[in-house]
Amino acid sequence: MSMTFEDLKSKFAAGEIDTVLACFVDMQGRLMGKRFHAGHFIDSAWQETHCCNYLLATDLTMATPDGYASTSWQRGYGDYVMKPDLATLRPVPWLEGTVLVLCDVLDHHTHADVPHSPRAMLKRQVARAEAMGFTPMMATELEFFLFARSYDEIRRAGFRDLEPLSGYNEDYNIQMTTREEHVMRPVRNHLYAAGLPIECTKGEAETGQEELNIRYAAALDTADYHSIAKHAIKEIAHQQGHAASFLPKLAPDKVGSSSHVHQSLWQGETPAFFDPDDALGMSALMKSYTAGLLKYASDYMVFLAPYINSYKRFQVGSFAPTRIIWSVDNRTAGFRLCGEGTRAVRMECRVGGSDLNPYTAMAAMLAAGLKGIEEGLELEPAFTGDAYATEAAHLPLTLRDAREALLASDMLREALGADVVAHYARAAEVEIDDFNRAVTDYEIARGFEMA
């Protein structure tokens, strides 16, 4: 359960808590921050602490590539302010005597939100929705693989011969998932005790693949839950001598891992997406929002698939969508209508991979949907059949194409800011350049003798 600052004080006085993790979310969706002695956090650090500004301009390996306007060697790599959001204070039951608080990242001089900070990006779009009279409600699904060996063992072996924790497709299979309960039971119970509204876990459609479902919530809470859960899964797997991977595509003959995002707008207790008089239960507002998701899907693709590997998922017949199309309860479509005819009607985006940053992905999709409402867009009729076989527009199928679409997006420059668009376009460019320098096993095996 979540806790108050007064709870922290009393638990520290009773000797139950000694460590506070003050964390912010980086561009990759990871928790970065400091471990405070609880006494110092209670005395002063609860107000603010500091971090180096390069932490919002790194790549996956924590390198510091140049080319960012916000930070550089020339500018000296100064500080950002980490401002704890005490509403996010919660225990970390899988670590002894520890609590966690999420921080907003502020400019050191102005104390304004750093605009390319993922949490600030989502908060800006939530505020935009609220100004229009709506509360965005969302949910994410976390898919990942569990492996028999630990991270250290796998790394020392050169990331080869990856042995999944179970040896069969375990989609909904209770017998197979029982073999992973020494990891997944602590994941469910610890996260529930940390105040996350955990629903369930299940086997997914590959060997060693699991899925965690968390109850829908306000958009910012959902992103917080997602990032905390992803972090916890990796730590709990490690504690049990295993590794968990959120890499979207681990092998050419294996199904990839996604992160589907469910979304709707509410007005108080009223679901603004629901119209009981519509054949599918979709309000005119929902139709315009969905039309915005479709119209601008290419624009925000880089936030759903931020790395080279992200695009290896998008294969025909893989349950990963390839076309910009919507349908009713159809898992071949990029956008699937769920809960038709009920108050729970919502749109599920099936495009994003398990490597997405929930804050930036949700911010970009929310921006697109709200733009659809503002433009009064008309929604095309629902598609029926196999979406892989249609002639509908393709999603960008490479990171290079997605980056170009991002740079060309007037909608995202207006919604997120030109500097934010340039920042994340540079992040994509860094990934592309780094991969272009790599020589892969595929190239050597294919051309060593035959070239």
Classify domain 125-442 at the CATH superfamily level: Glutamine synthetase/guanido kinase, catalytic domain (3.30.590.10)
pTM flag (> 0.85): yes
Question: pLDDT 10s per residue in the chain (451 long)?
Answer: 679 999 999 999 999 999 999 999 999 999 999 999 999 999 999 999 999 889 999 999 999 898 898 887 777 778 999 999 999 999 999 999 999 999 999 998 899 999 999 999 999 999 999 999 999 999 999 999 999 999 999 999 999 999 999 888 888 888 889 899 999 999 999 999 999 999 999 999 889 999 999 999 999 999 999 999 999 999 999 999 999 999 999 999 889 999 999 999 999 999 999 999 999 999 999 999 999 999 999 999 999 999 999 999 988 877 788 889 999 988 888 999 999 999 999 999 999 999 999 999 999 999 999 999 999 999 999 988 887 888 888 899 999 999 999 999 999 999 999 999 999 999 999 999 999 999 999 999 999 899 9
pLDDT tens track for 39-74: 999 999 999 999 988 999 999 999 989 889 888 777
Q: Can you give the chain as a three-state secondary structure string?
A: CCCCHHHHHHHHHCCCCCEEEEEEECCCCCEEEEEEEHHHHHHHHCCCEEEEHHHHCCCCCCCCCCCCCCCCCCCCCCEEEEEECHHHCEECCCCCCEEEEEEEEEECCCCCECCCCHHHHHHHHHHHHHHCCCEEEEEEEEEEEEECCCHHHHHHCCCCCCCECCCCECCCCHHHHHCCHHHHHHHHHHHHHCCCCEEEEEECCCECEEEEEECCEEHHHHHHHHHHHHHHHHHHHHHCCCEEECCCCCCCCCCCCECCEEEEEEECCEECCECCCCCCCECHHHHHHHHHHHHCCCCCHHHHCCCCHHHHHCCCCCCCCCECCEEECCCCCCEEEECCCCCCCEEEECCCECCCCHHHHHHHHHHHHHHHHHCCCCCCCCECCCHHHCCCCECCCCHHHHHHHHHCCHHHHHHHCHHHHHHHHHHHHHHHHHHHCCCCHHHHHHHCCCC
Segments making up each domain of the chain, as ranges: 5-114, 125-442
**The domain 5-114 is classified under which CATH number: 3.40.50.300, 1.20.1260.10, 3.30.70.580, 3.10.20.70?**
3.10.20.70
